[in-house]
Structure 1
Amino acid sequence: MVLTPESQSLMQRLDQRSRDIFKEIVEGYLSTGEPVGSRTLSKGGIALSPASIRNVMADLTDLGLLDAPHISAGRAPTHRGLRLFVDGFLEIGEPSGSDKREIEDRLRSAGSDLEAVLGEASGILSGLTGGAGLVASPTRDTPVRHVEFVPLAGRDALCVLVTEDGDVENRLVRVPEGLPATTLIEAGNYLSTRLKGRTLAEAAVDVREEIRSHRAALDAAASSLVEEGLAQWSGDSPGRGRSLIIRGRANLLEDAKAAGDLDRVRQLFNELERQQSLLDILDTTREADGVRLFIGAENQLFPLSGSSVIVAPYMGGAKHVIGALGVIGPTRLNYARVIPMVDYTAKVIGEILAARRTKDGK
C-alpha cells in the first residue's frame, strides 16, 4: 500500500518505541478482536514496564490512533489507526499456495458463462476471507458479435449475447404464449445485424428509432421481443442491466453476533440493498492501479456500520477494466491475507477472459 499524506505525517511523529507498541497492539487486535493491554505487551515482545507502555498508549490515543472501547485499560485501533497500520506497517505478499489453487480450480471449472464465473468468484471470496464477496458484472461497453433468442419451456426464452471479447451472457425474457420459433429467430437475426461491431449504447437508440418509425422489417411480436432484449441488456428496465453478486451475508451476521453488535450488521444489510451505490463504490477501481481499501468512514456508503471494503478491478481485452470485485467485512479483517487474495482473484478472472478471447481467435 502507498502512504497517504496523513499516514506519512503520522509516521514522522512516531519514534521507534511508539511504532513498535502501536504495531503490537494492532496485530493483537486483528488476531483476537479484543483490546490489548499494557501487561500483555510487557509479557510479549516489548521490553518496557507496563507503566511506560501505558504512557506510550496514551500518546497514541491522543493522536487518534487508539481508543479504549471498554472500561478496561486495553486499547484497540481506531479507523485512523488501522489506515496507518495498513499504509505503513502491513507486509503484503502473495496468497498461500492452497488459496491460489482453490481460486484457480474453482474459477476455471465454473464453465464458459461469465456470470457463472463471477458468481463463483463471489462465493470464493466469501468462503476464504470470512466476509461477504462482492462482484460487479462488466460494464456494457464491448462491441457485440452475435445475439440470439433460445426458446425454453412455457413463456420463457433466453436472450444470449456474445461480445467481440468472446464473453457469453444470458438473460431470461418473457414471451407471449405460443410465440413461433421463427419470430425468435427473426428478432435474433435483426439484433445481430444491427448490433454487430457496435456497443449496446451506440446501437440501442438507432434500433429503437427504427422500430418506432416502422422502418424495421419486423412484425409486432418480433419488434416487442427486440425491445425487451434491448431493455434487458442496456439496463433501461428497473433492476436490469449490470448486476451485483453478493455472497456470504451470513458471515457478517455471525461476526456481529460474536461481537454483540447486531445493530451494526442491520445497518450494513440495509446498505447492501443499495445496489447502485455499491456498484459506484466498486467502479472507483476503474481509475485505480490495483487494490483499493476503504476503512470505516472512508467509505461514504458504509460510514455507520464500521466495515472495511477491499476492492480490485478485473480486466477485459487489452488491459481494459470492465468490472470489479471485492470483500466487505469487519474492520478487523485479516488485511495481510485478504488484500492479496482479492487481487489474485481479479487477475485469474482476467486470465480466464484472455484465454477465451484467444480460443475464439480474438
Structure 2
Amino acid sequence: MLFILLLLVQLVHSLDVDPNGYILYCPCMGRFGNQADHFLGALSFAHNLNRTLALPPWIVYPSRPTPKSTSFHIPFDRWFLIDPLRAYHRVILMEDFMSELAPQIWPPGKRYGFCYGFAQRGCRMKDGNPFGPFWDHFDVDFDDSVTYRISYNVDNDESTRRQWETNFPPNRYPVIAFMGAPAAFPVAEGHRHLHKYVRWSDEIVEEATQFVEREFPQGGPIVAIHLRNGYDWEKACTHVDGERNFMASPQCLGYAAGGDGVTGELCLPSKGEVLRRVKEAVVSLNAEGVFVATDRDPMIGELTQHLGDNVKVVVQPGDRDRSPQLDLAILGRADHFIGNCVSSFTAFAVRERTAGGRTSSFFGFVSKAGRGKQRDRGAEL
C-alpha cells in the first residue's frame, strides 16, 4: 500500500511538470522599483520562450544599511496576486517550485547557472550580496555554469527565439536559472502594458483603503506625489546633465533617440517646482488633500503653508518603518499623481495608473504640446 501511495504522489507531481521548462532568476539589481521593471521583462521573456516563470521573492534591503546588514526576502504573493498573472502566462511561486518540483527535475548535481558571456571565469552565481543570500535562501548550490551570447529581446524575433530553443532545449535544460533577470532596465517600452496583470494583494489593498479613509475622511479628490530626494539620489543627479536618458527617464522623455535630454530639475526638482506643480493640481481638482511618498524629505511644512489650511498634507508615519508598497498602492489610487521622471519607483505607479485609466505627470517636465499653456498657467500660481 505504501508503495502505491508513493507512486501516486510521483504521478501527481509528474503531471505538474511543464515539459517546456522553467525560467528562474535572481532579482539582484537594485531595490523594488528596479526589480519590478525587470520582472515585467522576465515575464515577457518566459512567455516568448513558452517556459513557466518561477516568481522570485522580492529582495528587500535595510533602509539604513550597516556593514553587517544583509538583504532579506518577501514571497511574491505577499504583495501581489498570482491569478491575474496567469491570465497572461504560466507562473509558479519559486518557493513552490523548489519544494515540489526541483527535487524531481532540478536536483543537486544538475543545477547550472546561466550568465552572459563570461566564459573565462564562468558564472559566479553566488558571489556577493544579494546573489549569495538569494540562492542560499533556497539552499541552492550550482554544479556548473553555462554562458551565452543571445539577446533577451525575443519579442517578435523568431530567429532569436529559435536560438534559445536550439541551444538550450528543455529536454536537456529543463531549468534555465539566470544570474540576473533576463530583461532590460529600464523596462522596455513594449513590456509596460504587462503591468495590467500586476495586482496588489488583498492585504495591501485593505491597508491602503484604511489609510486613505482615515486620513481623508471627507472622500474628496486627492493628489499624490513622489518626492525622490534622498542623499544617494542627490548625488546621482549631479551626473545627469547632457545625458539623453538616465535610469527610468524614458517614461517621460520617450524611448526614441533625439529630443530633450535629462536635466537636474527633472531628476531632482527644486522646492519651487514641487510647490508650483502641486498647487496647480490641487486647484484644478479642488482636492481636499495631498499624499506624499518620499525617501527623505516630505516637505510637509512647505506644502501646508503653500496650499493653505483647507488642504491636508500627509505622509506615512515614521521613517524606517514606512512601507514602500503601501506608498505605491496609495499613489496608484489617487485622483492625480505627480512623480519623478527618472525614478523607477515613480514608473511603477505610473504604469499602474495607466493600466487603470488614471492621469499622471512629472515634476520638471511638460510635454511639448503643453509648454506654452503650462507657462501661462504657471504665472497664475
Could you say which TM-score interval applies, normalised by the shorter chain?
A: under 0.3
Q: Higher helix share goes to which structure?
A: 1
Structure 1 length-normalised TM:
0.27
Q: Which has the larger radius of gyration?
A: 1
Structure 2 length-normalised TM:
0.26
